[in-house]
Every structure is written in structure tokens, then in C-alpha cells.
Amino acid sequence: MNDIYCRRVAIVGRVCVLLAFFAYGEAIAYDRVTGRSFASRSVVMASNGMAATSQPLATQVALQILREGGSAVDAAIAANAALGLMEPTGCGIGGDLFAIVWDAKSQKLHGLNASGRSPKSLSLQWFVDNGYTSIPPRGPLPVSVPGTVDGWFELHGRFGKLPMSDVLAPAIAYAEQGFPVTEVIAYYWARNARVLAPYPGFKETFMPGGRAPGAGEVFRNPRLAQTYRILASEGRDAFYKGEIARKISNYMADNGGFLRYEDLAAHESEWVDPIGADYRGYTLWELPPNGQGIAALQILNILEGYDIAGMGFGSARYLHAFVEAKKLAFEDRARFYADMDFADVPVRRLVSKEYAKQRRALIDPERAAKSYPAGDEKLGEGDTIYLTVADAAGNMVSLIQSNYRGMGSGMTPADLGFILQDRGELFSLDPRHANAFAPGKRPFHTIIPAFVTRGGKPWLSFGVMGGGMQPQAHAQVLINIVDFGMNLQEAGDAPRVRHDGSSEPTGEQMRDGGTVIVEHGFSADTLRALGNMGHEIQLSDGGFGGYQAIARDAGTGIYRGASESRKDGHAAGY
């Protein structure tokens, strides 16, 4: 085989025929220690603190706050505020937030669901009466209450040390003075701008000079600087009950939206207990629905019944088992995951080992399934940023935040400097569905932070941004470490697989078994074998998420950090 990376694959009778596949891994340098061809860099190590984000300047902002005496939560909020400015393609205060915090003092995990609810003046019947079969992806209709700011202040009130004015100061300075846009962010900014330019207010804030800023160009957002300054001085009520809330409400009313001041004023986040499941001595913790985190637990529970290590990384047997486990978990995700204030979601049953055993029995080890049923007992595309921070006291934060669909709905209110999210697109308009639209309801959410403990002690704070890829990647990362012996960086650098086409919480059904999307780095023999099993294979070099991680050595207290090689960011410590 020539060292050629071929992006074109012919699918004939669902057998993958490689026209000119590649030994791409052979063409790049092997890791000098482990010998793995896909390792991009060494693991970062430090004693006093660590931050990993998808933008280098945001990582430095987090470290600055740690050096000034801030807690891990202070640093995480500061980094998130910086990313709202520097990476608006994935996040911003017009979106929602979820976090898992390890508190060193209490030796406990705390979960925060800071997702917003649908407008109370909008009903499912309105969509029916106006001929909608699904909620549109952009514009005023998918906008739900932004939960991020309340999430910041909830986290800060419980775990913060510095005043919020200090925490937001670095982001305010960058917003006023400007920063150079990095490569990956510039690419997605331009893609979003082509679609969102027609929406009121977008161009004025995000297209200076009539276009999206290119890589290396300096971008300023004085509107966002002023909004952050108001939050720093007046607190969260300025956003939900004050000047900012009224501007959002008036903007939405003027542009055909339903979100109102009353929706913002009524908003509050919810502290929740993370849900854990053991995987070969490691406990993975996720947040309960309305998010999709427990899908990762379901996947791992099913796969625990296989000798994954014996199958080998990149083998057809492993990838087949993984894809089938994902299909099973996502059928449950489509049927049951929803706002638990509106639906009786059988979380404990779904993540139990007994249930996983029943579901595992449905897998044919030699053949891909075209469909699976959801559990029949009486149980009842998106861009994001993920960051993690740890401090000298042993506190660790796993935080994820998003506008959904890249920059969100396109709705850019008044002179506030941010875009409102379009998370409401993920409601179903089927009144019988657990995730059916209802006033004041939280939509199904894709963004999920993760945390792993060993023996009740903190071990790993990590996440992988990227829509429906997230639970699939959570499982793959942990399998890479536990079963395949990879280090923290390699676990994220390793080529990934993504299955698309499962049934969705919006009501779509699995499409003839779906498609297995594979990243470069898997062998031709593996892909051919998967095709012979009945999997439809598609090669891609994008859509596999963005990983950040911090691990803690329980004996020495040393932190290890890793960052996604597919994004612009990095991990750094001090």
C-alpha cells in the first residue's frame, strides 16, 4: 500500500472497497516513548494546577486566575467567559452549561444542570397550527432561555474564591483590546457567517468589515465587554431581571420570537446528583437527563461483557461491538431521555448491569443490525466547548457549554455582543414523545461533562464536545485508557469512530442501520471486515469531537493534562 490518504470510499453491497487507502499512520512520527503512531504530543504535567481548553489564550486565562489565588471554579468561569469571546463558534452566554465539580473539602462530586427552558407563551399546538413538522434550526423559534450566566453564578456562589469582577476581568480586557483568531475557529466562523448573516444583529457584532475574521486577524467585541462588565458589577440578576433581560425580551418580540422577560426572570439552575457506573474498576460519572450523558454509561455497561482488550484497538470485532452497543443505547436515548420534570425517566434501570446484560444479548457478533428496539419494559449537530480545570487544593471542574449548531440561532440581541442558542430545535413535535415540546420545559441536551473516580477518589475530569458524538467519544476515551493502555493524550489522539443514523429524540427513526463514520488511521482490512458484516462505512476527517482532560495521581497529587489535537487549544499547568 502506498502512503496515501484517500478520502473517497466506494460502498458496494455494504462492503467497503478502498480505491486507494492509506497507511497514513506510517507517514507520521511514532511517539518516542510508547511507539503509537497517532500520538500528537506528550502529556502535560504540573503540581499546582492545570487547565485544558480549546483555545490557548483561554487556557492561559484559567492559569492566570489560579495564580491569583482563584479556585478551579473561578478559573473555569474565567476560561468560559474568554471562550465566549474567542470561540463564539461553539459557546457563549446565550447558551447553556453543565458541570461536574469535585470538591476536595467534602470529597464529593456535585452536578449542575444550567440549561434553560422553552418560552411559556409558545405551545406545541402553535407549531401544529402553523404547519410545522419539526422546529427549525435557526431564527427565533428554537430559542430557549440561556442558562450559562446563572450557571456561572451558581458555581461561583458555592465554590468561588475571587470576586466575579476579578474572574471576568481577563475576558473583558481581551474583548476590548482584541485577540488574534485561531485557525480552526476562523474556519468555523466563516462557515457559520455564511448561514447566519441575514439574522438581525449578527453582522454588526460578528462580521466586522462585512465578513468573518480570518486566521490571525484581530477581533474585538466591545459589546460583549460591556455585557461582561455589567455582570461583574451587578451580578446574575442583571441578566435575568435587569437591563440585559429587557433588551433580550424586546429584541425577540421585535423579531417574531416568543422568549420574554418573564421567562428569563423565572429561570434557575438545578443542582443534581451525578449518575455513576463502574467499568472494570473505574467509575464514570455523568449527569442525568435532560442530557445524554447516561448513554455513555449504557454503552460501557454493554461492552463490559466483552474481552475488549483481547480484541485489540482498531480491530473489526471491537468496532463492531462498539457500534452495536451504541445503537442499543441510542434507541433508549431517543425514547426515554427528556426533562425529568416532565417525564418519568427510568435512569437507574437504564444504567443497571442487569439491563445491560439483556440488551447485550441482542447483538449478533457477526452481523450489523439494521434496527433495534428501545427497551420495552415500562420504563417510560452541534458545536460546543469543553474545558477542565484543577487547582492546588485538589478541586477539579468538568465544564461544558454550548449555543448548539455552532454559533446558535443567529439571533443577536441589541448591543449585547452574543448570540442566543437554538437548543429548542431538539424538542419533538410528537405529543406522545417524552421529549415533546411544552411551555417551560428543558429540551433534550447533547452537551455532557464527564468525571471518573477510582476507589472513591478523583482520577479523571474529561469531556469530548461534538453533538451526538459525545457519549460515543466518552466511552472510546475510557476504553482507550482502561482496555488498551493508552496514556491521557493518546486516548484523545487515537482515531475515532462515530455511528450516525440512530433514532433521535426529535422523533426520527434509525435509517437502515445507519452509517459508521471512521477517521483516518484504521486499517483497510478492518474497514473491509466491517463492510462484510453489513456496516455501511464512510471515511471522514471531521466530526469526531474535541477532547480535553486532566487526571490526578492520588499518591503524588501530580496533575496530567491532555488536549484535543483536532482543535486549537492546549493543556498547561504551573
DSSP per-residue codes, 252-309: HHHTT----HHHHHT---EEE--EEEEETTEEEEEPPTTBSTHHHHHHHHHHTTS-HH
| Block residue for cell numbers 482488550 | 309
Helix axes 316-336, 524-532, angle to 10 degrees: 60
DSSP state of 542: S
Task: Pull the grid cell for residue 486.
Answer: 493508552
- In 25-151, at which residue ranges do the beta strands (DSSP E only) sit? 44-46, 50-53, 96-103, 108-114
Closest CA to 544 of 475, 503, 496, 507: 496
Is there a contact between 377 and 165 (Cβ–Cβ < 8 Å)?
no
DSSP per-residue codes, 86-101: H-TTT--TTSEEEEEE
Residues contacting 173, CB < 8 A, separation 6+: none
* Residue 59 appears among annotated catalytic residues: no
| Block residue for cell numbers 457584532 | 205
Distance, CA of 58 to chain centre: 17
Is there a contact between 262 and 120 (Cβ–Cβ < 8 Å)?
yes
DSSP per-residue codes, 444-498: PB----EEEEETTEEEEEEEEESTTHHHHHHHHHHHHHHTT---HHHHHHS--EE
Task: Pull the grid cell for residue 499.
Answer: 455511528
Kind of pairing, strands 515-518 and 537-539? Answer: parallel
Amino acid (1-letter code) at residue 39:
A
Our separate counts of H helices and E strands in the chain read 19, 21
Angle at 167 between CA 164 and CA 169, to 5 degrees: 105
Torsion, Cα 159 163 166 168, to 10 degrees, reads: 70
Catalytic residue among 59, 182, 384, 506: 384
Task: Pull the grid cell for residue 559.
Answer: 496533575
Is there a contact between 222 and 86 (Cβ–Cβ < 8 Å)?
no
Three-state SS sequence of 331-378: HHHHHHCCCCCCCCCCHHHHCCHHHHHHHHCCCCCCCCCCCCCCCCCC
How would you label 521-549 residue by residue, b for 16+ Cβ within 10 Å and e otherwise? bbbeebbbbbbbbbbbbebeeebbbbbbb
The residues annotated with a catalytic role in the active site are 384
